[in-house]
Amino acid sequence: MKKINHFFPIISILLNTIIILSLVQYIDISHAQGIDEPIFLSSKFQMMEYTENIDNSTGVSSINLPLPSETWNITNIELNITDIKLGKEVKSIEENGQSIEIIDSKGKLGYGVELNITEPTIVFGVYIYGYITGTPAQPVYVQIQGYNLGTDAPDENVLGSTLINISSPGWHLQMFEEEVLLPSGKYYLVINGSELTFPGDKSTYNWFYNSSGSLNPFLNTAVYDDEWKQIDIGEPFLHKLIQRVNRSFNAEEVNMTAEFNGSSYPISDGPTQGTGNLTINELIAPNSTIFDIAIRNNQSIDLLFNVSYHVKIINNFFSNGQVELIDGSANRWILTPDLNKIYYNYTVRFDYPTSWYNLSVLRNGLDAPNVTINPIDKYILFSNASIIDGVLWEISANSPNTPLSLNTPKTKFEPNQDLEFSVLPPINPGNLTYVLINSLGFEEYRETIEILATTTSQIVLSYTLSSNPNEGTYWAYIYWFDGENAGIISQDFKVNIPFVLNPIYIVIIVVGSIIIAGVSFTTYKLVKRSKRRHQEFRQQIYNKYMDVLNLDYFIIIEKRTGLNIYEEMLAGKDMDASLITGFLEAIRNFGIELTGANEQSQTIKLEYQQSKVIMSEFKDFRILLVMKENPSQDFLDSIKSLSYDIDNIYGEDIAHFKGNIDKFANIKELLNKHLETSLIYPLELKHQDAKISSDEKALINRAKEVMKMRKTDYFFLSYLLYAKKGFQIRDAETVLKLIEKKIFQPKI
């Protein structure tokens, strides 16, 4: 009868369990996000950057001003122009004429035409009109020669020369090897065939000339027949000069103007000959990375000049920023602009919103020097001296929490009901966002409504709960944001689920009661068996701690050579491992107690002075352990499993061991895995995001007290496990859990 009475508590517990399980579907363990949870909103803020480009160009006919990007605008241009000259041109002297003079080895060896240079000129080349027949054998030259005033024929002074380049009838370009500088005066352009002395050369050079109606009736012509002689006047050969007038011009002399965007700007004369200057104070938007300025003049050809320029430019750019909103607190703004110098005198200005206050500017986390914060005109100015490439900038400020008016007629709701309320937004345009957080702390619903300047009435916000919502406290966050100002308000709501007992659970309770009566005896037996197993488990934990705390020295020896391939002193004093190994080898056949043996391994032990020496043999290696006390059988079993792991991972390296022990360094991990050697090392306390029990919390606090008392940042398990009377296995279990969670970590 007493045994039956023992079953009544069990039956009662199981019956209550079934009843509780029947109600679990109606119970939610929940928590609500509090009103101090911040909302972060991103925004962008416009800033203005200013810089100046000072540079120069030489030998140009137009001006190209580089810009950092297409978004930059020009506010001021200063141009200083020097060395103004006419550019290269092709000047036609005589173009028409059908008469021909022939140069060949049988007749005349050269012809020339007078060049009348009225101002200093650079000649780069000429065009001549003619053609060639036959294949040339000797060289023929196109040359500019001096002028003999006595004979009106070429003299022997050759000023420029090139091999003739001519083929079929037409104009042919002859470029001199070097440009020819000709002061004002008279010269001759000649085709010089004086080397055509070989009778077998049948080539002929035909040069056209104008025999009547010439545009140049006063130009002399000459022929070469052993010497140069004047032959005629007013019948010049056809030719054009590729030239450039070699003198400087004042800007106003040639009506020099700068043109862009359909507008023309006259360039004024500079202080010296050949110079000019221009200043433009206009806002110009090139929309390009190069701003082109065309230079015009009243001549038929372009000008060449040098220019130095000073250009002021501005640009709008945007900085990333965000605001932190907390109900009941002022808004906090953070901006992180990216500032990198461009050209010269680079500055940045930020006109911040008028509602902001408590501004600060940090550079790499410190107060930024040479930065002006003007609270009256509401701007921040970053000077050229303050801006350093590659640093981190942070602008922080506060602004008032823009008030929102919330109307909540009801704060308690049930499934399928409309969670509804209304809000009166600010009069300024912006976005109104409604976020609903459920009792588990997750976002349930979000809605954003655009607020216009014409919006004056309350905005109704509503959300229909599901048929099976999470029970508990819900939070509604309503915030307004226009990019520069923000406001937030929050409200909690209760969601309750009425209790309804499902009929199916009544049947479960009745059937469960009948089943309990039949299985109670079996349950009793299982409980006893569970207790016994739990007691064995606790004993294993005790053995694990005692064995590892008794371990002083660990060595692995390669059998063939007798050399140590891995050793670790865990406690006690250093000892000669080789001496102990040799001693065991010498007497291993003389009565040493065998603690286990098979074909592959055997473990022997020996008492040596105050220590217990354990040697386990396995294939090609031995494991030697020195302990304070005899180990448990569990420890010896762990040695066997350790031996198998060492053989699986390092067996091949041990079998071919040649003295290199570096590859066995990671045996330390296997040692800790099988023998829990990390429990010997000092432990550090590390913070981890993991749930902890009350027992774990108590042991953590005890560790903190020990470290504080001993003034260290570590502790040994012995300080904790023997702090109470006797060995507390429950504490040992807790330590293992804390090591598993990495809250207690070995300091190795």
Lowest pLDDT segment from 330-344, 593-607, 700-714 = 593-607
Q: What pLDDT, in 10s, does the model give residues 149-160?
A: 999 999 999 999
Q: What pLDDT, in 10s, does the model give residues 391-441?
A: 999 999 999 999 988 888 888 999 998 888 889 888 889 999 999 999 888
Return the SS3 of 578: helix
Q: What pLDDT, in 10s, does the model give residues 697-735?
A: 888 888 888 888 888 888 777 666 654 444 566 777 777
DSSP element (H, E) containing 566: strand 564-569
When comparing pLDDT for 629 and 116, which is higher?
116
pLDDT band at 266 (very low <50, low <70, confident <90, very high): very high
Over range 372-382, report the average pLDDT.
96
- What are the phi and psi torsion angles at 537 (to 5°)? -65, -45
When comparing pLDDT for 576 and 78, which is higher?
78
The rounded distance, in Å, linking the Cα atoms of 167 and 133 is 8
Q: Which of 37-41, 392-396, 458-462 has the highest mean pLDDT?
A: 392-396
- What are the phi and psi torsion angles at 18 (to 5°)? -65, -40
The DSSP string of 708-748 is HHHT-S-B-HHHHHTSSSS--HHHHHHHHHHHHTTSEEE--
Residue type, 94: E
Label the pairing between strands 366-367 and 564-569.
Answer: unpaired
On whether the CB atoms of residues 718 and 584 are closer than 8 A, the answer is no
3-state secondary structure 496-551: CCCCCCCHHHHHHHHHHHHHHHHHHHHHHHHHHHHHHHHHHHHHHHHHHHHHHHHE
pLDDT band at 72 (very low <50, low <70, confident <90, very high): very high
Lowest pLDDT segment from 42-51, 196-205, 352-361, 564-573 = 564-573
Whether the per-residue pLDDT at 18 is higher than 60: the answer is no
Q: What pLDDT, in 10s, does the model give residues 225-264?
A: 889 999 999 999 999 999 999 989 999 999 999 999 899 9
When comparing pLDDT for 615 and 15, which is higher?
615
Query: Tell me, what's the pLDDT at 68?
Result: 95
Domain boundaries, the chain: 2-25+502-536, 56-87+248-312, 96-237, 402-495, 539-668, 683-746
Predicted model pTM: 0.56
Query: Tell me, what's the pLDDT at 617?
Result: 84
Q: Which among 71, 79, 81, 80 is positioned nearest to 313, based on CA atoms? A: 71
Query: Tell me, what's the pLDDT at 553?
Result: 81
Whether the per-residue pLDDT at 537 is higher than 70: the answer is no
Whether the per-residue pLDDT at 28 is higher than 50: the answer is no
Over range 96-124, report the average pLDDT.
94
On whether the CB atoms of residues 492 and 34 are closer than 8 A, the answer is no
Residues contacting residue 684 through CB under 8 Å, at least 6 positions apart: 713, 714, 744, 745, 746, 747
What six digits make up the tokens of 52?
């100046």
The CATH architecture of the domain made up of 56-87+248-312 is Sandwich (2.60)
When comparing pLDDT for 618 and 730, which is higher?
618
Whether the per-residue pLDDT at 626 is higher than 50: the answer is yes
Q: What pLDDT, in 10s, does the model give residues 273-288?
A: 999 999 999 999 999 9
Helices 633-655 and 667-675 pack at an angle, to 10 degrees, of: 160
pLDDT band at 71 (very low <50, low <70, confident <90, very high): very high
Percent share of the chain, pLDDT over 90: 49
Query: Tell me, what's the pLDDT at 597?
Result: 41
Query: Tell me, what's the pLDDT at 718?
Result: 67
When comparing pLDDT for 171 and 624, which is higher?
171
Query: Tell me, what's the pLDDT at 29?
Result: 36
The mean pLDDT value of the chain amounts to 84
Over range 439-466, report the average pLDDT.
87
Return the SS3 of 479: strand
Lowest pLDDT segment from 504-508, 620-624, 625-629 = 504-508
Lowest pLDDT segment from 309-318, 473-482, 501-510, 615-624 = 501-510
| Fold classified for 96-237 | Jelly Rolls (2.60.120)
What six digits make up the tokens of 741?
């969670």
Percent share of the chain, pLDDT over 70: 83
Over range 602-622, report the average pLDDT.
78
Query: Tell me, what's the pLDDT at 7?
Result: 47
Over range 344-363, report the average pLDDT.
96
Any idea what DSSP says for residue 237? B
Question: Matching CATH topology for 56-87+248-312 and 96-237?
Answer: yes
Whether the per-residue pLDDT at 491 is higher than 80: the answer is yes
What six digits make up the tokens of 355?
């509602």
| Fold classified for 402-495 | Immunoglobulin-like (2.60.40)
When comparing pLDDT for 658 and 205, which is higher?
205
DSSP element (H, E) containing 209: strand 204-209
Query: Tell me, what's the pLDDT at 364?
Result: 95
Residues contacting residue 516 through CB under 8 Å, at least 6 positions apart: 10, 11, 14, 15
The rounded distance, in Å, linking the Cα atoms of 295 and 470 is 77
pLDDT band at 599 (very low <50, low <70, confident <90, very high): very low
- In 343-429, DSSP assigns E strands to 344-351, 357-363, 366-367, 371-374, 379-382, 393-399, 405-407, 412-413, 418-424
Lowest pLDDT segment from 270-284, 352-366, 588-602, 692-706 = 588-602
Query: Tell me, what's the pLDDT at 595?
Result: 46
Q: Which CATH superfamily is domain 539-668 in?
A: Longin domain (3.30.450.50)
Whether the per-residue pLDDT at 366 is higher than 80: the answer is yes
Whether the per-residue pLDDT at 10 is higher than 60: the answer is no
Q: In angstroms, what CA-CA distances link 692 with 178, 394, 635, 696, 705?
A: 92, 39, 30, 6, 18
